[in-house]
Amino acid sequence: MAAGWTLTVTGTNELRQTLQTLPEAIAGQVLLDSLTTAAEPMRDRMRSLAPRGAIAPHLADSITIAPVRSDAVSAVIVIGPTRAFFYGRFWEFGWKYHSAHPFMRPGYDEEAWPTVDRLRRDLWAEIADWVAAHVEVTG
């Protein structure tokens, strides 16, 4: 007869309670800050692709990251020119008298997955920090 293994798990109630509070620990501002930080290289790439004229201020310098909303499970940001540089959409998409010179979409296309990866790493670090501070490991 093969040797048997016995696995005894204790503290499941405490673990469940801990896991239920975890979303609150990464909610709101932490999630929004992580997303904003992860998106900075995307904004920088869009800036590098945006047109620059001979006279400042430049459209490229107006590209910012702005928070829209965040809650326990989501965060939304907007990356793009400020309202004062509304004409950036005409550069991006073109119009009757000017052909398109995209800078937003190529920047997004190049940086979308690296941004997701940066966000993933940052959130896992936040979760690990929270767990280290709030969960007692005994063994």
First vs last Cα of the chain: how many Å apart? Answer: 30
pLDDT digits (tens, 9 = 90+) for 34-79: 899 999 999 999 999 999 989 989 999 999 999 988 877 778 899 9
Q: Which of 1-5, 54-58, 130-134 has the highest mean pLDDT?
A: 54-58
Per-residue pLDDT band at 7 (split at 50, 70, 90) = very low
Domain boundaries of the chain, sorted by first residue = 26-134
pLDDT, greater one: 80 or 30: 80
Neighbouring C-beta atoms of residue 85, cutoff 10 Å: 19
User: What is the H or E stretch that residue 125 is in?
Assistant: helix 104-134
Neighbouring C-beta atoms of residue 17, cutoff 10 Å: 10
